[in-house]
Amino acid sequence: MPLVTIQPEGVRVQASYGSNLLTVLKEAGVNIESVCGGRGVCKKCVVEVFSSGLTEPTSMEAEVRSMSKSFRLACQARIIGDVVIKVPQSSRQTRGKILEWGRVKDFGFYPATRSVNVKIYAPSLTDQRSDAERLLQALNAKSIDGLLLKKLPGKLRELKWDLEAILHDGEILDVRPRRDQDFYGVAVDVGTTTVVAYLISLKTGRIVSVKSDYNGQIAYGDDVISRITYAVKGGKNLEELQGKVVATINKLIQDAADEAKCSPFDVYELSFAGNTVMTSLLYGAEVSAIASAPYVPPFRSSLRFKAREIGLRVNDSAIGYTFPLISGYVGGDVVADILVSGMHEQDEKSLLIDLGTNGEVVLKAGDLMLASSTAAGPAVEGAGLSNGMRGMNGAIESVSINVENFDVYYKTIGDADPRGICGSGVVDAIAWMLIAGVLDQKGRIADINTPRIVNIDGDKAFVLAVNREGRRICITQTDIRRFQLAKAAIFTACLLLLRIGGVSLSEISKVYIAGAFGNYIDPRSAMIVGMIPELPLSKIVQIGNGSGQGAAMSLLSRKVKEEAEILARKVRAIDLNTINGFQSEFIDATQFPHKKTDMFPRVMKAIAMKAPLLD
């Protein structure tokens, strides 16, 4: 049987003669992308081939091979001999297990919340120290949580002075039986649109469950401004908004605990990373001054508080921690992104783009670190569009279009019947609509004679799919307009930060893509629509949900918290609205990919060729 060597892993597998390369790769555990079901249409399963041993290229591979003769589409190749191939990062589904992210290792496993087994001397008439002293001295700890202190006499005697103590820094949070039972932290990415909670074992450092849902505040408006507007109306509005996000988090923690077969009561620490408004509302702080110049937040340093104080349903003594904020409009999520990317420690010039309802951009150039925020709106997260939905089962997450006949190939999460389209699907769909000529540079849906272009209540729309119930999943002209504003906001932020930093795009060595769906988006599609600057794919690093990962890292190492504090004070926040020319740059950026097409030569070529962008 032929031997297939897969790089860069170095994995070797035996394959039966004539078997399909894509199938073999998938069976070998390689997370290779494929949307069109192996028809050669989506051009996602590109591999690099270093030997013979494959059948001849098919006609579907012409575009790919025009980039490099060593490129093949795995779905089109059959194995007829030993072969060495490389699966480039751009062809991989990177929605990986977050804990495998290497940065955690750099900090070491040094959690602030830890457990200690201890056997305490029982009291006697010659040792009448109080229960509190006894425990503090045995653990060399500084303090005891107030609620635990109240129950300490009963607990210590029930445990017969032989116990496992849970400590956070010098504070004793709990005492419980020595049973090698696990205990947990929860890292939360508090997004304007989406909240993601990671349940993490603080004993092993492993993520045991991840849950996400829309932020319950979404009923009060799509963006941070509408939330602030509601909060400042007075009455109990602020408490209401706080209650909504806390309820969302409580639900996620309960779901995650159910999945991991543990109890929210076993959660002893929570770390929250979110933008400034989300962080303030989570804590219940007034946000009135953030909205207007000089955009002053209530606080910027990290907060440390008892989770019970804000109504979180976890262990009674659990500690809450919020990431430090950079400014009124650049928050702790960006600090977390930077930490996860490691860009601040590199000499090279780099950009970081957090794709979310609040799009954030960071430029690092020498000692300079500039950050900016832009109100992209929830369109990039699949919310606020006609058939938008969160990245959950049945969401179209990946799309390609046959440029000849406008057939749409798509992949849904869980391979379920399509119910809607999520962020990465939207970007893919619009990119392919451009490639296929369904959309023009100004974002108008073309008048093409195809049953896929329909009219819905006077709104032109392109049909991506029809589900089993007969419901059409479309991208409408209105959706396109919303998306144009969103992507223009993000691109303009990149452009202006580069200009302020005096850095040209060609000097940029790395672009880190972050965000709740930053791992799922196809960066080629993001370039085609002009959401991010055109750069070689090799310079793009998708770090996934940096906010959630940063929060997770802070649970696993107290050094992360120290570094976050330093970083938050080091980054300079730039208010884009005060920058000359912002408005006209923004308008230019609403075009696909941009009014100044010379910034996107390869994208323009791909559109002209009706071919996807390849590296």
Out of 7, 288, 441, 591, the residue judged to bind a second copy by CB under 8 A: 288
Nearer to a second copy, 76 or 372 (CB): 372
566 sits near a second copy (criterion: CB under 8 A): no
Say if residues 422 and 397 touch (Cβ distance below 8 Å).
Answer: yes
The CB-of-149 to a second copy minimum distance in angstroms stands at: 6
Give the shortest CB-560-to-a second copy separation in angstroms: 22
Tokens found for residue 375: 């109100």
DSSP helix, strand, coil percent of the chain (3-state; round to 5) = 35, 25, 40
Tokens of 273: 């990373």
- Asked if residue 169 binds a second copy (CB under 8 A), the reply is no
Report how far residue 25's alpha carbon sits from residue 32's, in angstroms, rounded to the nearest whole number: 7
In the structure encoding, which two tokens stand for residue 144, read together? 């005891």
Residue 327 or residue 557: which is nearer to a second copy going by CB?
327
Beta carbon of residue 312, minimum distance to a second copy (angstroms, whole number) = 14
- Shortest separation between residue 329's beta carbon and a second copy, angstroms: 10
* From 131, 189, 337, 381, residue interacting with a second copy (rule: CB under 8 A): 131
**Size of the chain, expressed as the number of residues it contains:** 615
Is 342 a residue that touches a second copy (CB under 8 A)?
no
28 part of the interface to a second copy, by CB under 8 A: no
Indicate whether 153 belongs to the interface with a second copy (CB under 8 A): yes
Strand pairing of 408-412 and 303-306? unpaired
Report the nearest approach of a second copy to the CB of residue 333 (Å). 17
Q: Find the shortest distance in angstroms from Cβ 280 to a second copy.
A: 9
Q: Minimal distance in Å, beta carbon 299 to a second copy?
A: 4
CB of 439 to a second copy, least distance (A): 40
Q: How far is it, in rounded angstroms, from Cα 381 to Cα 226?
A: 17
- Choice from 178, 299, 456, 500 touching a second copy (CB under 8 A): 299
Q: Residue 550 and residue 599: Cα distance in Å, rounded?
A: 33
Q: Which stretch binds a second copy (CB under 8 A): 297-305, 426-434, 461-469, 475-483?
A: 297-305
Q: How far is the CB of 150 from a second copy (least distance, A)?
A: 5
Site stretch for a second copy (CB under 8 A), options 71-79, 111-119, 162-170, 285-293 = 285-293
- In the bound state with a second copy, the residue whose beta carbon lies nearer, of 325 and 383, is 325
Nearest approach, Cβ of residue 174 and a second copy (Å)? 15
Number of residues that bind a second copy (CB under 8 A): 44
Asked if 127 interacts with a second copy (CB under 8 A), we say yes
Please tell me whether residue 132 binds a second copy under the rule CB under 8 A.
yes
C-alpha distance across the termini of the chain, in Å? 32
Report if residue 163 touches a second copy, rule: CB under 8 A. no
Residue 521 interacting with a second copy (CB under 8 A): no
Asked if residue 487 lies in contact with residue 481, where contact means CB atoms within 8 angstroms, the answer is no
Least distance CB 217 / a second copy (angstroms): 17
Tell the smallest beta-carbon distance from residue 578 to a second copy (Å): 7
CB-nearer residue toward a second copy: 294 or 458: 294
Question: Could you tell me which stretch among 74-82, 128-136, 446-454, 602-610 binds a second copy (CB under 8 A)?
Answer: 128-136
* Binders of a second copy in range 574-593 (CB under 8 A): 575, 578
Among 9, 309, 345, 417, binds a second copy (CB under 8 A): 309
Using alpha carbons, list the distances in angstroms from residue 14 to 4, 22, 53, 192.
6, 14, 13, 48
Name the phi and psi angles at 162, rounded to 5: -125, 115
- Residue among 309 and 348 whose Cβ is closer to a second copy: 309
Burial tier of 578 (Cβ tally within 10 Å: 0-12, 13-18, 19+): exposed
- The C-alpha angle 245, 248, 252, rounded to 5 degrees, equals 140
Q: What is the smallest separation between the CB atom of 146 and a second copy, expressed in angstroms?
A: 6
Going from the C-alpha of 296 to that of each of 228, 307, 469, 569, 612, the distances in angstroms are 13, 25, 50, 15, 44
> Rounded to the nearest whole angstrom, what is the least distance from the CB of residue 377 to a second copy in the complex?
24
Q: Based on the shown chain and the rule CB under 8 A, indicate whether residue 573 belongs to the binding site for a second copy.
A: yes
The pattern of x and - marking residues 107 through 126 that bind a second copy according to CB under 8 A reads: ----------------xxx-
| Secondary structure, 3-state, 190-257 | ECCCEEEEEEEECCCCCEEEEEEEECHHHHHCCCHHHHHHHHHCCCCHHHHHHHHHHHHHHHHHHHHH
* Binding range to a second copy, per CB under 8 A, among 52-60, 173-181, 294-302, 421-429: 294-302
* Minimum CB distance to a second copy smaller for 224 or for 541: 224
Q: CB neighbours (10 Å) of residue 495?
A: 22
**Could you say whether residue 206 binds a second copy (CB under 8 A)?**
no
Output the CA–CA distances (angstroms, integers) from residue 4 to 27, 28, 74, 85, 91, in the order listed.
12, 10, 12, 8, 18
Task: For tokens 């963006």, name the residue.
Answer: 223
Q: Is 225 in the site for a second copy (CB under 8 A)?
A: no
User: How far, in Å, CA of 371 to CA of 453, rounded?
Assistant: 40
Query: If binding is defined by CB under 8 A, does position 523 make contact with a second copy?
Result: no
Residue of 372, 280, 288 whose CA lies nearest to 322: 280
By CB under 8 A, tell whether 504 contacts a second copy. no
Question: In whole angstroms, what is the distance from residue 374 CA to residue 388 CA?
Answer: 21
CB nearer a second copy, residue 119 or residue 304 = 304
161 contacts a second copy (rule: CB under 8 A): no
User: Which CA distances in Å does 485 have to 300, 368, 479?
Assistant: 29, 29, 10
Closest CA to 190 of 164, 212, 219: 212
> Which tokens hold the place of 104?
């955690």
Whole-angstrom Cα distance, residue 548 to residue 212?
A: 11
Q: Which of 12, 151, 596, 605 binds a second copy (CB under 8 A)?
A: 151
- Which residues sit at the interface with a second copy, rule CB under 8 A? 123-125, 127-133, 144, 146, 149-154, 157, 283-289, 293-301, 303, 305, 309, 325, 327-328, 573, 575, 578
